[in-house]
Every structure is written in structure tokens, then in C-alpha cells.
Structure 1
Amino acid sequence: MAEIIFLNDVKRDLNTVLTVGTFDGVHAGHKVLINKVLDVAEEKKARSVIVTFDPHPRDIINPGDAGIKLLSSLDERSEMLTDLGVDEMVVIPFDRDFSLLTSEEFVRDIIWEKIGVSAFVIGYDHQFGRNREGTIETVQELGRELGFHTHVVSKQEVGDKTVSSTAIRKAIYEKGDMELAASLLDRFYILNGTVVHGDKRGKKIGYPTANIQPQNSQKVIPKDGVYAVWVRFEGEFYQGMMNIGQRPTFNGGGTVLEVHILDFEKEIYGKDIQLQFVKRIREEQHFDGIENLKNQLRKDEKEVRDVLENRSPNIAKHLK
């Protein structure tokens, strides 16, 4: 994966092309900036770097918004950046002291002195630093002084890719609209988790499920319902029928994430898997009796197979 390097461990290299941002989800809009970094880095035969933050800046600046979930963990961001061809992801620990840096201090003391830069890629509307005082002009002026170039990605270059992480989050957890989310992300939404023991009710009705504990508690969980998903386990992909919700037929007991992996018989308790959400099939609902539930599950399985037949999973370039 694009190597995750925390700021204190980064090696300064002036032959570096970079951009800065949270890049939550690494969505279609982000990719315009990232591809510009890669193009310039290739021209200059330079290191390509994405500078990001952890935790999310809003958790420090606006702690009242801390309940908002993330589209991607650091590891997931690293994986996606690897797929795009980025060399390094430099992570800046974001705390109150860091939030008080002026835009000039950030560029001079962090970007120039600690990371090194020969070309800084910035979006046409990007603002940064204390009170978001930093602008394109700030970077350009410091570039002239310190000796690096500034590349501005114009509004025209972004075009119809002006999507937001907020819009994607809402599509996922308010609507369960995974097709809309995928169109904005340029890929299926992913959730990495560990298989944990459940009550094994699914096995008794012919649909054994793997209960999933998300690896990152801050990840966005899709709206309750039944989903067609791709399941990645040990580099292989399997079709899956995913249920998120309260299991009303079995008197609930809290939100459960469980997936029935089609045509799969391996023992995976305690193992890590990845879920790629393709489409929401239906609402979660209560059934009068197990037979009615089983009949619906058979219908769900057919629809899941039909949906996934022509939908290939996200294939990470670095996976073998």
C-alpha cells in the first residue's frame, strides 16, 4: 500500500509533488487533485505524496460534530491511494495546537521544512490554516520565496466531479443508496470487518451468516436493510447477501451486521473480510414465521445473484 508515514517519521525530500487534504473516502472529486499530483510527479520524476490528517480536523475544531462517521479509515485511504499509484501518504496528527498554526507556518514549517516540496497542487477553492486564512495566493507567494511551483486545479478541470464526502455519507446512512454512493466514489463503498460469533440462527434455516464487527468504529454504516455485496476474503471475491438491522423476526437485540456468503463453506471465525456494497435490495422487515422468512431469503438470494452477475468488484491493483 501507499506507505503510511506519520509526520515525525517522514524523510525530507525536496523532489516531492504533493497535495493536502482530509480525502475522506478518496472520492471522484479528490481523484482530480490526486491525478494532477501523479501527472506532475511523473514529469518531474519526483515522489508523489498525499498529506492528510488524523483524527479528522472537524473532531478537534468542531467537537460537536464528532458523531459524524468516516467513509474511510487511514488503512483504507492508504489502500485506495496505492491503487491510484501514490508513493506515500503522510499523516499529520491533528490536535488543538496544530489547528492554531497559521497558513504560512503550515507551509513553511511543515510542508517545506519537514516534508519537502518542489510542486504543490491545490484546488481552486481550497482554504487552510488557522481560521481557514490560507488561500491559493498564500501558497503561490511562499512558493516564489522558497522555490517550489504551485499548480492550481481549476473549477473547469474538476467539472462534474465536485462531489462532497457529506453527500456520500448521506446517500449511505440516510438512504442506503449504494449505487449513488458508488457513482460519487468511482467505486463501491467498502467496509472492513472481523468475523465474530453470532447466535447461529441463520445456519438453522439454511442461510448461515457471518456476523461482522467493523474494524473501525468511526466508519459509516449503511441504512438498515438487505444488500447485494461483494465479499473479499484472502484475496478472493464471493457474492454475498448482507443484512443490517435489528432482526425483528427474532425480537431484535440491537443492530447487527451479518452476511450470508453464497457458495462458501470455509471456516472464517476471527478472520478479516472486506464488504463492497453494490445495491440495497429491500427494507428490513418482520415475518410471521420462519417459513415466510425463508421464502423471502430465497427471493433475496436470486436478486443478489442477478445484481452481482454484471457488477465486478473493486479490484485493488496491489492484490495478487
Structure 2
Amino acid sequence: MIIYNGLNDIQPLVNAVVTSGTFDGVHLGHQTILARLTEIAQTNGGESVLITYWPHPRTVVSNDSQNLRLLTSLDEKIELIDQAGVDHLVVIPFTRSFSELTSEQYIRQILIDKIGTKKLVIGYDHRFGRDREGGFEYIRAHQNEYGFEVEEIPRQDVDAVGVSSSKIRAALNEGNVHTANRLLGRAYNLTGTIVKGRQLGRTIGFPTANMQVDDPTKLIPANGVYAVEVAYGGQTLGGMLNIGFRPTVAGTHQTIETYIFDFDKDIYGEHMTLKFREFLRPEQKFDGLPALVAQLKRDEETARVVLSQK
């Protein structure tokens, strides 16, 4: 896949089959669109093109930008789009001035002049241009004038999977990783660097890897204990994860700490990825360390069973 950071380096393609959108999460609904995009391109001897935006448009134009958390970092989104078989990915920096482009300017300046679109594939509810003024009906009414065809992914095809980025965010905010994973078509993950914490886990037999997530805009699931797979150093390990404030030991800030099963290595400063498999229980305050340790042992037993069934 060829990646363009902005529009300066791209030249009009001979037979470009194009779609556009934020594609946060690259979930099952997005995958339906990408599958159709690549199918059309292959059938017609064309090249598939996906136009996406970074940062997320809502962080630029919405009043709730500080509260928006994303399902995928830019690097994760690029990797998932590449796996979907797309030929060209255009990442447009989303700025306030870009958001002021009318649908007509977007079509002529980007779709036609920059990319040379021959066919546009969009979801039934996709909107573009200033104030989301453009859509399928507008383009279809003018497609002869523009010199490219437009195909809309029918409502029934997209709605059949019953998925949206908002639904996935809501599920993760409730700790419902089972639903989130089903809608994503894969396990939700966090990637970050291992940093030093208070190292209290070592004193009770549960040493943990304390993660600092790479992307500050990434959504952190609800506080609680999870069964996770740990991707580190080319291997996949089992583990249990606690997200929260550690009330039993008077924690003062949220941490992301993983007890990796059957693992004893100093990995400070290194990267790892957590893949969420199951929510085990909410975070809670115990009456002292002995009660906490007893519960952690039960959590480990449960997590090992969960992971053995995946």
C-alpha cells in the first residue's frame, strides 16, 4: 500500500476507485465498504484509494473534542487498512480551513483534480464538505458532469452488521469487551511503553508491567480487571490486567498494570500490546492486602481458563 501524507505527492491515477471517511476502528462496517472497494477495483482493473483524515474531524470542529477517545491510533488504522488490501491511502491533515471546503470544492479539488476518481464508493449515510452538505444523492445527480460514477453501499448491507464506532466506544466505556470485539471483528488493543510504578505488586507475588499508552487520544476501557493476551517480543503471552486507581493501596491516579503469566523479565522502556479478551470484575477496595491477594489468585485462575478457551 502506498501512503500519502497530505495531497502534495499524489498524482491523478488512471482508474481510481475511491472511498473516504475517518474509519476509526476499521470495524466490521468499515470492512464491508473496503471489501466492496477492493472488489470493484480488481474487477475493473483499477486501483483502490481510501481518503482518511487526521486528527479526527471531531477534535477540530466539535465542542466535545476533549472527551473524544479513539479506537485506533493513526499507525493502527494504517496497518488495518493495509491488511484490507487497499492500494493507496491518502491521509489528509484535518484543519479548520479544510473543514470549510464546500462539497463542490472537495469533489473538484480532491476527488477529480488530485486523485482522478473514476468511481466513488460510499456508505449510505456518508456526508462530506462544509456542514456535511454533500452526499450520495448530490453526487449521483451530477456524476455525468463530474466524470465519475458513484456507488452507495446499501443501508441493509451496512446495518446488517449493526456496528458503529460510537457503539464500540460505548461498549468499552462499560467494560463490555465481548461486544466491542464482536463489532470490531478482532480484539481491542492498547499499545504502550512499560514504565516504573510503585512496584507494590512484587511484594505480594504479583509483579506487574505498568503501561503508558503511546497515543493519548486512545480510548482506555472502563476500570476493572480483564483477561488479556500480551504481545511482546514476537510472542503472545497470557495475563490479567487492572485498569484503575488501586484503592486498596491508596492509589492516587489511574494506572494500566498487567500481571503477565509465567514471565519473569525486566522490560522497562520496552513496548508491548494488550489484547482485551474478557472483563472479569470491576475494580474494588479490599480490607487489606491479604484479601486483595486472595482475590488476585482467583482472578488469575479465571483469566487462565478464559484464555485457554480462546
1:141 CA displacement: 4.2
Instruction: Report the AA paired with residue 121 of structure 1.
Output: V
Quick one: structure 1 residues 6 and 266, their matched pair in 2 at CA, closer, same or farther if it must change by over 3 Å? Answer: farther
Match of 1:55 in 2: 55
1:142 CA displacement: 4.5
1:237 CA displacement: 1.0
C-alpha offsets along residues 253-287 of structure 1, whole Å, 9 cap, x if unaligned? 21011111111223321111111111110011122
Quick one: structure 1 residues 34 and 262, their matched pair in 2 at CA, closer, same or farther if it must change by over 3 Å? Answer: same
Counterpart secondary structure, 1:66: helix
Match of 2:117 in 1: 117
1:89 CA displacement: 2.1
Aligned-residue identity in percent: 44
1:193 CA displacement: 0.9
Instruction: Report the AA paired with residue 175 of structure 2.
Output: G
How far apart, in 2, do the equivalents of 1:74 and 1:273 lie? 17
Match of 1:315 in 2: none
Runs of 5+ in structure 2 lacking a partner? none
Match of 2:211 in 1: 212
C-alpha offsets along residues 181-235 of structure 1, whole Å, 9 cap, x if unaligned? 1111111111111111111111121111110001000111111100011111133
Match of 2:180 in 1: 181
CA contact (8 A) 1:2 1:78 kept: no
Match of 1:138 in 2: 138
Runs of 5+ in structure 1 lacking a partner? 312-320
Instruction: Report the AA paired with residue 257 of structure 2.
Output: E
How far apart, in 2, do the equivalents of 1:254 and 1:281 lie? 21
Quick one: structure 1 residues 288 and 217, their matched pair in 2 at CA, closer, same or farther if it must change by over 3 Å? Answer: same
Match of 1:7 in 2: 7
Counterpart secondary structure, 1:268: coil
Counterpart secondary structure, 2:253: coil
C-alpha offsets along residues 44-100 of structure 1, whole Å, 9 cap, x if unaligned? 232222211111111222133332111111111011112222223211111111111
1:139 CA displacement: 2.4
Match of 1:16 in 2: 16
How far apart, in 2, do the equivalents of 1:54 and 1:213 lie? 22
1:4 CA displacement: 5.6
Per the normalisation by structure 2, the TM-score is 0.95
Match of 1:296 in 2: 295
After the TM superposition, which of the residue ranges 100-109 and 159-168 deviates more from structure 2? 159-168
C-alpha offsets along residues 117-143 of structure 1, whole Å, 9 cap, x if unaligned? 222101122221112111113323453
Over the aligned positions, Cα root-mean-square deviation in angstroms equals 1.7
Instruction: Report the AA paired with residue 96 of structure 1.
Output: R
* Matched ranges for 1:151-190 at <5 A: 151-173=151-173, 175-190=174-189
Task: Number of aligned residue pairs: give it.
Answer: 310
CA contact (8 A) 1:108 1:142 kept: no
CA contact (8 A) 1:52 1:91 kept: yes
How far apart, in 2, do the equivalents of 1:28 and 1:37 lie? 14
Counterpart secondary structure, 1:8: coil
Instruction: Report the AA paired with residue 245 of structure 2.
Output: Q
CA contact (8 A) 2:4 2:10 kept: no
CA contact (8 A) 1:17 1:117 kept: yes
Match of 2:265 in 1: 266
How far apart, in 2, do the equivalents of 1:34 and 1:18 lie? 10
How far apart, in 2, do the equivalents of 1:189 and 1:80 lie? 12
1:169 CA displacement: 0.8
1:2 CA displacement: 6.7
Instruction: Report the AA paired with residue 283 of structure 1.
Output: P
1:157 CA displacement: 1.9
Per the normalisation by structure 1, the TM-score is 0.92
Quick one: structure 1 residues 39 and 233, their matched pair in 2 at CA, closer, same or farther if it must change by over 3 Å? Answer: same
How far apart, in 2, do the equivalents of 1:3 and 1:240 lie? 35
How far apart, in 2, do the equivalents of 1:192 and 1:152 lie? 35
Instruction: Report the AA paired with residue 264 of structure 1.
Output: F
